[in-house]
Amino acid sequence: MRDISGLIFNKYSYIIQLKILKIFSSIICYIVIRIKGIHIGKKCSFIGLTKFYRTENSRILISDRCSFRSRKTSNLIGIDRPCIFSTLMPGAELIIGEECGFSGTIIGAFKSVRLGNKVRCGANTLITDSNWHLDDPRSGFPKEIIIHDNVWLGAGAIVLKGVEIGENSVIGAGSIVTKNIPPNVIAAGNPCKVIRTIN
Ligand SMILES: CC(C)(COP(=O)(O)OP(=O)(O)OC[C@H]1O[C@@H](n2cnc3c(N)ncnc32)[C@H](O)[C@@H]1OP(=O)(O)O)[C@@H](O)C(=O)NCCC(=O)NCCS
Q: Which residue's CA is minimally distant from atom 16 of ligand 1?
A: 195
Q: Which residue's CA is minimally distant from atom 25 of ligand 1?
A: 189
Residue 127, burial from CB neighbour count under 10 angstroms (0-12, 13-18, 19+):
buried
Give the per-residue pLDDT at 11: 86
Q: Which residue's CA is minimally distant from atom 13 of ligand 1?
A: 195
Give the per-residue pLDDT at 1: 82
Q: What parts of the chain have a pLDDT lower than 70?
A: none
Q: Which domain holds residue 175?
A: 4-197
The CB of 172 under 6 Å from ligand 1? The reply is yes
Give the per-residue pLDDT at 8: 85
Contact (Cβ atoms closer than 8 angstroms) between residue 125 and residue 107: no
- pTM equals 0.94
The CB of 155 under 6 Å from ligand 1? The reply is yes
Span from the CA of 148 to the centroid of ligand 1 (angstroms): 20
Give the per-residue pLDDT at 10: 85
Give the per-residue pLDDT at 7: 85
Q: Which residue's CA is minimally distant from atom 18 of ligand 1?
A: 188
Per residue in 21-41, pLDDT (tens digit) is 999 999 999 999 999 999 999
The CB of 146 under 6 Å from ligand 1? The reply is no
The CB of 142 under 6 Å from ligand 1? The reply is no
The CB of 157 under 6 Å from ligand 1? The reply is no
The CB of 84 under 6 Å from ligand 1? The reply is no
Task: Kindly report the backbone phi and psi dihedral angles of residue 148, in degrees, each rounded to the nearest multiple of 5, phi listed first.
Answer: -80, 175
In total, how many domains does the chain have? 1
Q: Which residue's CA is minimally distant from atom 43 of ligand 1?
A: 154
The CB of 186 under 6 Å from ligand 1? The reply is yes
CATH number of the domain that residue 127 is part of: 2.160.10.10
